[in-house]
Structure 1
Amino acid sequence: MPVDPLLSEYSDLLFKGALTVYVLAMAFYAVEYVSSRTRVREAAVEAAHEPAAVGARGTGSADLGVVSEENADVPPPPPAKASRPSRSRADRFGRMGVSLTVLAVLLHLGSIVLRGLATTRWPLGNMYEFTSAVCLAAMVAWLVVLQRTAKRTRGLRKLGVFLLAPVLILMFLAGTVLYAQAAPVVPALRSYWLAVHVTTVTLASGLFFVPGVASILYLMKRSGKPAGFTAKLPEADVLDRLAYRVTVVAFPMYTFAVIAGAIWAEAAWGRFWGWDPKETVAFVAWVIYAAYLHARATAGWRHVGAAWINILGLAAIIFNLFFINMVVAGLHSYAGLG
Structure 2
Amino acid sequence: MTPLAAAANENLAEISNYLIYSSMAVYTLAFFAHIAEWVFGSRSKVGRTAAALTAARAGAAGKPAAGTPAVQVRTQGGGTAVLDKPEVVSRSAAGSRDVPDGPGAAGGTEKGDLYGRIAVSLTALGFLIEAGGVVARALSVERAPWGNMYEFSITFSTMAVGVYLALLAVGKNVRWLGLILVTTVLLDLGIATKWLYTDSDQLVPALDSYWLWIHVSTAIFCGATFYLGAAGTALYLFRDSYEAKLAGGGKPGTLASSVLERLPSAASLDKFSYRINAAVFPLWTFTIIAGAIWAGDAWGRYWDWDPKEVWSFVTWVAYACYLHARATAGWKGRKAAYLALFAFACWIWNYYGVNILLNGKHSYGGV
TM-score scaled to structure 1, two decimals?
0.81
Matches within 5 A, 1:143-158: 143-150=165-172, 153=173, 156-158=174-176
**Which residue is 2:41 aligned to?**
36
CA contact (8 A) 1:3 1:183 kept: yes
Shift of 1:203: 0.8
CA contact (8 A) 1:25 1:100 kept: yes
**Which residue is 2:232 aligned to?**
214
Aligned residues, how many?
A: 292
- 2:282 maps to amino acid: P
In 2, the alpha carbon distance for the partners of 1:311 and 1:265 equals 29
- 2:134 maps to amino acid: I
Matches within 5 A, 1:1-338: 1-37=6-42, 40-41=45-46, 88-150=110-172, 153=173, 156-224=174-242, 227-228=256-257, 229-335=259-365
CA contact (8 A) 1:215 1:311 kept: yes
- 2:327 maps to amino acid: A
In 1, the alpha carbon distance for the partners of 2:213 and 2:345 equals 25
Q: Classify 1:39/1:261 alpha carbon distance in 2 versus 1 (closer, same or farther; 3 Å).
A: farther
- 1:163 maps to amino acid: L
CA contact (8 A) 1:39 1:232 kept: no
Shift of 1:148: 2.6
CA contact (8 A) 1:325 1:336 kept: no
- 1:23 maps to amino acid: T
Shift of 1:176: 1.1
Q: Which structure 2 segments of 5+ residues have no match?
A: 1-5, 50-107, 243-251
Q: Classify 1:231/1:95 alpha carbon distance in 2 versus 1 (closer, same or farther; 3 Å).
A: same
Cα deviation, 1:271-326, whole Å, max 9, x if unaligned, reads 11111111111111111111121122245512222111111111111111111101
Q: Classify 1:330/1:41 alpha carbon distance in 2 versus 1 (closer, same or farther; 3 Å).
A: closer
- 1:20 maps to amino acid: A
Shift of 1:99: 0.4
CA contact (8 A) 1:128 1:175 kept: yes
CA contact (8 A) 2:15 2:136 kept: yes
Q: Indicate the RMSD between aligned Cα atoms, in angstroms.
A: 2.0
CA contact (8 A) 2:33 2:119 kept: yes
Please give the secondary structure, in 2, of the residue aligned with 1:168. Answer: helix
- 1:250 maps to amino acid: V
Q: Classify 1:335/1:244 alpha carbon distance in 2 versus 1 (closer, same or farther; 3 Å).
A: farther
Q: Classify 1:24/1:186 alpha carbon distance in 2 versus 1 (closer, same or farther; 3 Å).
A: same
CA contact (8 A) 1:25 1:96 kept: yes
CA contact (8 A) 1:94 1:158 kept: no
CA contact (8 A) 1:38 1:231 kept: no
Shift of 1:231: 2.3
Shift of 1:17: 0.8
- 2:281 maps to amino acid: F
Shift of 1:234: 1.8
Shift of 1:31: 1.8
In 2, the alpha carbon distance for the partners of 1:36 and 1:241 equals 25
**Which residue is 2:91 aligned to?**
none
In 1, the alpha carbon distance for the partners of 2:178 and 2:34 equals 6
TM-score scaled to structure 2, two decimals?
0.75
Q: Classify 1:251/1:336 alpha carbon distance in 2 versus 1 (closer, same or farther; 3 Å).
A: farther
Shift of 1:191: 0.7
CA contact (8 A) 2:308 2:354 kept: yes
**Which residue is 1:51 aligned to?**
none
CA contact (8 A) 1:215 1:240 kept: yes
